[in-house]
Amino acid sequence: MFGFEAIIAHDGLGISVIGISIVFVSLILLSFAVSRIHKLIELWDKKYTSYQRVKKTQQKDQKTPSVSDLAIPQDVQRASRQFKLLIEWIGEPFPLPKLLDLSGKCGLSRPHSTVNELLKCELIIPDENGYYVWNKQLEEKRSST
């Protein structure tokens, strides 16, 4: 069996149609990619300026809050009263480890994280000698508002 009879007998016609279709689709995709290559090159050239633009907008969004913008959470306000009493009992200036030890002995919940929040809110501020003091000015400002 030779010629067209052999091709038809072994399903060569279907295989050749599929092969031609694959080549045709590949050529269409290749021509589409070549027609859009200038857009990709332009995007590649402008990637640094686009990155800088995005970075600037992110920096504008991440404005650093000032001390007056910081709100003291409600649970920290409650705990601050207890810590203020402990600080008055210890005396100012006070060492931070002594405050933490005493607050643990008094049974206050989560003393380390509460002291950390008080430091973030600047209700407890460091002095120049390695000790800490209660920020009475900020407390007065908060109570007056």
Q: Are residues 45 and 75 in the same domain?
A: no
Does 87 share its domain with 135?
yes
CATH of residue 87's domain is 1.10.10
Query: 52 and 83 in one domain?
Result: no
Confirm if 124 and 132 have CB atoms less than 8 A apart. yes
Pair of tokens at residue 11: 């399903």
Q: How many helices (H) and strands (E) does the chain have?
A: 8, 2
pLDDT tens track, the chain, 145 positions? 788 788 788 888 888 899 999 999 999 999 999 999 998 888 888 777 777 777 777 776 665 555 444 555 666 677 777 888 888 888 888 888 888 888 888 887 778 888 888 888 778 888 888 788 888 777 667 666 5
What single-letter amino acid sits at 110? R
Domain region containing 120: 69-144
Spatial distance between the Cα atoms of 105 and 99, rounded to a whole number of angstroms: 10
Q: Do 19 and 43 belong to one domain?
A: yes
Cis peptide upstream of residue 93 (ω within 30 degrees of 0): yes
- Give this prediction's pTM: 0.45
Residue 21 is predicted with a pLDDT of 97
pLDDT of residue 67: 47
- Which of 127, 117, 126, 124 is CA-nearest to residue 139? 124
**Domain boundary residue, one of 43, 61, 79:** 61
CA distance 83 to 102: 10
